[in-house]
Amino acid sequence: MPHGEPPATERQLPVFEQRVVRARVVDAPAPDTFAAIRRVDFMRSPVIAAPNLARLAVDALRTPRRREVRAHRSVRLADLIGPQGGFEVIAEEPGRELVLGFVGRWWEPDYGRVDWDPGAPLSSISVPECGVGTWSFTVLPYDARTCVLLTEIRVHGTDERARRLFRRYWTAVGPFVRAMARPILSMIAAEARRRPAVPSQTSHRRKRE
């Protein structure tokens, strides 16, 4: 992210109705912290696991053909990306910023996922009665051993009906989403301190050259 340029989240979704932002200082170098984002198992936190398993159970009851609730033992970032998870990586600056995007109707079973082009800015998506959201992680180095880790969620409704339905949905789930943010940051921080990032072979070759 060049100096003076807004974060990718701002470029992707500058207009939104709901927003959650949390930050914490991490006693680990920025590269280690960024690498830990992809390694951490979100389901290790009861604050995260309980509402997500409850959502799976509700979806199973609402959808006659879905009676089996699959309790995932672990969920990492890679499990949330693609057809299975519904998120797509829409921007990444390695070591600095990672932004995921989602388009769907959260208030419907399976989050009402909608096919969309991850190459297009989220602000350009106009599928009727849909929510458009970003979930981002940003790592800001402070010194060689310390950084600041931020996570942000933004949601925008594509029309008035979507905004009304999402407000109703957010009244119920918003407190849980806000509660999840800090445990996520804490787990990433713990993982960064526990297991430093391993330089790639390419990096080693470049250093030797």
CB 134 within 8 A of CB 101: yes
Q: Does residue 66 belong to any structural domain of this protein?
A: no
Contacts of 15 (CB under 8 A, 6+ apart): 123, 156
Domain annotation covers residue 46 = yes
Residue 198 lies in a domain: no
The answer to whether position 184 is within a domain reads yes
Q: Look at residue 98 and tell me whether its pLDDT is greater than 50.
A: yes
| Residue 128 clears pLDDT 70, i.e. is over it | yes
Question: By residue range, what is the domain housing residue 187?
Answer: 13-61+72-193
Q: Quote the tokens at residue 87.
A: 């998120």
Tally of domains within the chain: 1
Q: Is residue 207 part of a domain?
A: no
The answer as to whether 84 is a domain residue is yes
**If you count them, how many residues does the chain have?**
209
| pLDDT of res. 201 | 42
Question: Which is nearest to 75 in space by CA: 98, 55, 49, 54?
Answer: 49
Whether residue 204 is contained in a domain is answered as: no
Q: Is residue 3 part of a domain?
A: no
Most confident region among 34-43, 57-66, 107-116 by mean pLDDT:
34-43
pLDDT at 58 over 90: no
How far apart (Å, rounded) are the C-alpha atoms in residues 53 and 131? 22
User: Whole-prediction pTM value?
Assistant: 0.82
More confident residue, 147 or 198: 147
| pLDDT-derived band at 110, boundaries 50, 70, 90 | confident
CATH of the domain at 21: 3.30.530
Q: What is the mean pLDDT of the chain?
A: 85
